[in-house]
Amino acid sequence: MGTDKALLRLSPGAPTFLDTAIDVASTLTDDVMVIGRQRPDSHPGVRWLPDRFPDAGPLGGIATALALARYPRCLVLSCDAPFLSLEVVRYLCELSSSADAVIPATSASTRQRAGIALQTLHAVYSKRCLEAIEERIVAGDLRTTSWHTDAAIERVPERVIRAIDPDLLTFLSVNTADDLRRARAIAAGL
């Protein structure tokens, strides 16, 4: 993108993508953290924390959040998703589960791949995941799903998420200029 995706907006005056993630998370918890970003002057009460594993990508961010979270479960949200649905995220948080992680599973059509795509950056993790995640980071396996064989994962079926978010816009990530144009077109049509 050539710029920090978290600071993008769907239109002038609209909240940044990071603002959206913080607003959604703040509705659900008093323990909101932003991992790996510089602390801006806004968002009182948000903890701005350096990534403990700065070269480990999203998996390092998940590990950092789990290690520093005040509660036994931690909601992880991507900061490049402009259409985060509070209802979807609330549903994930409210699932009464003894699983180590609650992760939406969507079909390939939403991610341009065959099979199932796990939405690991829109998920709820237990601190019980931390050891397995850190082991994978140390081993150099930085896939966000690399540790799943060592944990009890509850996959939330796409049909359940579609009942709340029919177009699965919650999972639309802006990674390219084309993605941003598409997101802005969707926002203009809403």
Give me the tens of pLDDT residue by residue for the chain, a chain 190 residues long. 788 899 999 999 999 999 999 999 999 999 999 998 776 667 888 999 999 999 999 999 999 999 999 999 999 999 999 999 999 999 999 997 789 999 999 985 544 455 679 999 999 999 999 999 999 999 999 999 999 998 999 999 999 999 999 999 999 999 999 999 999 999 999 6
Which residue type is seen at 168?
L
Query: The whole model's pTM is what?
Result: 0.91
Domain residue spans of the chain: 5-189
CATH class given for the domain over 5-189:
alpha beta
